[in-house]
Amino acid sequence: MSCADVIGLFIKFVLLYTPFFVMSVFIPVTQGMEGRARRRLAIRVGMAVAVISAVLYLGGEQIFRCLGISLDAFRIGAGTVLMLNGIELVRSCAVPSGRQVETESDMAVVPLAIPYTAGPGTIGTLLVMGADPTLSLGNRMITLVTILAASAVVGLMLCFSEYIERGLKKKGVAILTKLTGMYLVALAAEIIFTGISNFLKL
């Protein structure tokens, strides 16, 4: 895996976590909190995303074996869910319908880590990537490091979310969220086409 491949993979994971959308949820939810408490919450979100993502990625192959589902069938299903998530981001930057933001207790894991940062489409993509039989052990470790790095970036962005929003303005954050959604739609289409292509080869 070349340096360019690693950078591309890192960018892919950062966009999969839809950080600008998560910021648009994080900022109003943490209004009234002290700066230190807000930063602690942001760090916990990043750590929760890192742990959840690593477990899903490393356990992808075992999960498929237990469920008895073919990888290509899951590629099509996960790609479809990811595409719906991307379309939802393109159409609206608001909190998705039917999902209420919890304002009590610790919000780091639910709902900020799941489902806002690591939603169903992201989870499906991580499982598919983790179950890829063509990856060598070295490439798996590199991918794992990029997952952890991308999770750390999400946590840092949430730590400085107020400053980022102040610089980009709400309209700028909305535009970047929509662009992220378009990328997810394209990535989802690639995953779906790969699954369909492999099915046709059987």
Determine the structural domain holding residue 136 and report its residue range: 3-201
What is the C-alpha separation between 12 and 17, in angstroms, rounded?
9
> In the chain, which stretches have pLDDT less than 70?
93-106, 202
pLDDT at 92: 72
Contact 43, 156 (CB under 8 A): no
Number of structural domains in the chain: 1
pLDDT at 202: 62
What is the C-alpha separation between 1 and 142, in angstroms, rounded?
8
pLDDT at 19: 95
Closest CA to 118 of 198, 53, 182: 53
pLDDT tens profile 191-201: 999 999 988 88
pLDDT at 125: 94
